[in-house]
Structure 1
């Protein structure tokens, strides 16, 4: 991939610094900088951006940073630093918004079922804010509905994956014939097929509500925003020079 480009280098450094701080301060970092559900008392407006620099464990940051370097470096060389950073953060912010929108849907769906038992919203929030729930809730809605409701409120999102998915989509646009491989399927697959394949996996897991511990709708959001931006730029021929002035 050649030398480390400027934007990629600084993104790697910031992510590593956040990860080291997380190892040192643990829960406090997650409370301040992860992306919490807006109705959760831990939510702060800056988390829409800071969650992109937070990671859950070593393998999480390793895979994200490797993908950022591998697929982002060629893009930055073509686009330049400013255009790449604009694209990267746009995809990351889009991922946060779509992830939050999906969480609102799951939260409201579960809340509506629970309110049917006669309990008030304030009482429900008081219960779940303490990390608790009522077994009775599973009698008025399916397990997946209640589990998704609780997860939406209590599980913060962390990681650069949403922004990285946008980068993957851009890479597939720019290098559609490049051959890539999945870890569990060591067969070369062209980027124009590889990227839609992994997005399809997120769509399946996201809409079937399989509990994987992964923010699938953040991945979908980053990919969607990346696709829209690439489509728009290709249509309007936004070139590197316009971003370097």
Structure 2
């Protein structure tokens, strides 16, 4: 079984615990799906935090089983390539993007419904109608990690386009790029043909759309990171400054690092080794972009997993 990477493992745990908690507290009259599910923004129960919390709730066992299986199967690979911080940023951002797309789809549906009943209702009037119907609109609730998970599927297809995977019940494997294309088509046709089937197809497509543009931006700007001014970097810089401030006075300017095996090395040796490792990882990632994941040797694949675990 594939080794679980740190972020993927914690996401699986959080989703399972949230699923269990949903049914436990329901017995005492607490509806987590109503509290933390994503409501339509014109509804009375809508809160901004729901754009995050909704992706950790699921309607039933089949719902969470599919999402968590896909997250485990593809998330470990993507996290090993990108590292935990970039992977988590991508996952949460695409989940929020999926929620925003679902909000937009619901607004369009609401406008079409209202204008169909009263053609004199204009776009500006919809908000007033929404306020009057805010209690009834509370029933429009979205839950599930599917938007973020579909973004992970997209990332796998873009990074490893020629990797062959199986789709039940097809007897032969197909390339990842066709696998992703198949899912996009299914969701697109479902969104257009069955808008009232209770499945947030636009959220699925929204997660993939946000993921596509994010990956394209990273590919076009490989040295820009994924947001150097983000809160992640702020806390990293803060931690470094605190470490420097807490360093004992009179200590040598030439710090020594102690590795797991007990060997000591200077700052210069440590930085040189880290740079060499990063150069090797960059070379492997460049090889993936040019020739696909299948072109890697066993040692190169292991290097990617090792580099992720050491982050």
Could you tell me how far apart the structure 1 residues matched to 2:113 and 2:65 are?
35
Matching residue of 2:14 = 14
How does 1:1-245 map onto structure 2 within 5 Å? 2-26=2-26, 28-116=31-119, 129-130=135-136, 154-238=139-223
Higher normalized contact order (CA 8 Å, seq sep 6+, divided by chain length) = 1
Summarize the Cα distance change of 1:108–1:195 in structure 2 as closer, same or farther, 3 Å threshold.
Answer: same
Could you tell me how far apart the structure 1 residues matched to 2:63 and 2:111 are?
30
Matching residue of 2:240 = none
Could you tell me how far apart the structure 1 residues matched to 2:8 and 2:75 are?
7
Higher mean displacement: 190-199 or 231-240: 231-240
The DSSP-based 3-state class of the residue aligned with 2:90 is helix
Conserved in 2, the CA contact under 8 Å of 1:80 and 1:240? no
User: Mind listing any 5+ residue stretches in structure 1 that lack a counterpart?
Assistant: 131-151
Could you tell me how far apart the structure 1 residues matched to 2:207 and 2:22 are?
24
Task: Give, in angstroms, the shift of residue 175 of structure 1.
Answer: 1.1
Summarize the Cα distance change of 1:128–1:232 in structure 2 as closer, same or farther, 3 Å threshold.
Answer: closer
Matching residue of 1:140 = none
Q: Deviations over 1:167-205 (max 9, x none)?
A: 111101111112223335444221011101111111111
Q: Deviations over 1:151-180 (max 9, x none)?
A: x86331110000011111110111111222
Conserved in 1, the CA contact under 8 Å of 2:218 and 2:225? no
Conserved in 2, the CA contact under 8 Å of 1:53 and 1:158? yes
Could you tell me how far apart the structure 1 residues matched to 2:189 and 2:33 are?
28
Task: Give, in angstroms, the shift of residue 239 of structure 1.
Answer: 8.5
Q: Deviations over 1:4-32 (max 9, x none)?
A: 11001111111111101111123610110
Could you tell me how far apart the structure 2 residues matched to 1:90 and 1:124 are?
27
Task: Give, in angstroms, the shift of residue 2 of structure 1.
Answer: 2.5
Could you tell me how far apart the structure 2 residues matched to 1:38 and 1:220 are?
19
Task: Give, in angstroms, the shift of residue 128 of structure 1.
Answer: 8.2
Conserved in 2, the CA contact under 8 Å of 1:170 and 1:227? yes
Q: Deviations over 1:192-236 (max 9, x none)?
A: 111011111111111223433210000000001111111111122
What's the Cα RMSD here?
A: 2.8
Conserved in 1, the CA contact under 8 Å of 2:102 and 2:203? yes
Conserved in 2, the CA contact under 8 Å of 1:32 and 1:44? no
Aligned length: 223
Give the TM-score taking structure 1 as reference length: 0.81
